[in-house]
């Protein structure tokens, strides 16, 4: 696998996550996404993995490094110190979304609960 392309690597991850029952996301068209967004996101056993994929080495034998934009995203994710907020947002939630983004103590609208759905739409 050490001479694999990034596409080969991604396909290997796709097969692995399918085999073990993990959820895998990767962007199909990165030219339509924010620059530097990490290549894959995997959810497995109550953990979220966010990873940039790179080949082992370039044609000269040097390790490939992430771009400045990729480093910015990886740095941002690496300092998150709270579990991710999972929500189903609707346009009517805009005011609450804005409040919850700027105030960590404000309630987040549309919080999603497994087996329940949105907290405010149960019943």
- Report how far residue 47's alpha carbon sits from residue 90's, in angstroms, rounded to the nearest whole number: 26
How many domains, the chain? Answer: 2
User: 12 and 69 share a domain?
Assistant: yes
- Report how far residue 108's alpha carbon sits from residue 101's, in angstroms, rounded to the nearest whole number: 8
For residue 84, being part of any structural domain is answered with no
- Report how far residue 113's alpha carbon sits from residue 120's, in angstroms, rounded to the nearest whole number: 10
Domain that holds residue 42: 6-78
User: 12 and 70 share a domain?
Assistant: yes
Q: What is the pLDDT of residue 33?
A: 85
Q: Average of pLDDT values for 58-79?
A: 89
Prediction pTM value: 0.80
Give residue 1's pLDDT band: very low, low, confident or very high (50, 70, 90). low
For residue 97, being part of any structural domain is answered with yes
User: 20 and 51 share a domain?
Assistant: yes
User: 69 and 15 share a domain?
Assistant: yes
């Amino acid at each position: 696998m050490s001479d694999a392309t990034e596409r080969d690597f991604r396909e290997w991850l796709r097969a692995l996550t399918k085999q073990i029952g993990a959820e895998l996301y990767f962007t199909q068209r990165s030219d339509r996404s924010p620059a530097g967004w990490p290549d894959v996101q995997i959810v497995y056993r109550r953990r979220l993995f966010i990873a940039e994929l790179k080949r082992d080495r370039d044609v000269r034998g040097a390790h490939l490094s992430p771009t400045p934009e990729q480093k910015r995203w990886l740095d941002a994710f690496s300092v998150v110190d709270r579990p991710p907020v999972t929500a189903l947002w609707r346009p009517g939630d805009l005011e609450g979304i804005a409040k919850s983004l700027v105030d960590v103590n404000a309630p987040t609208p549309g919080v999603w609960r497994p087996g329940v759905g949105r907290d405010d739409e149960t019943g």
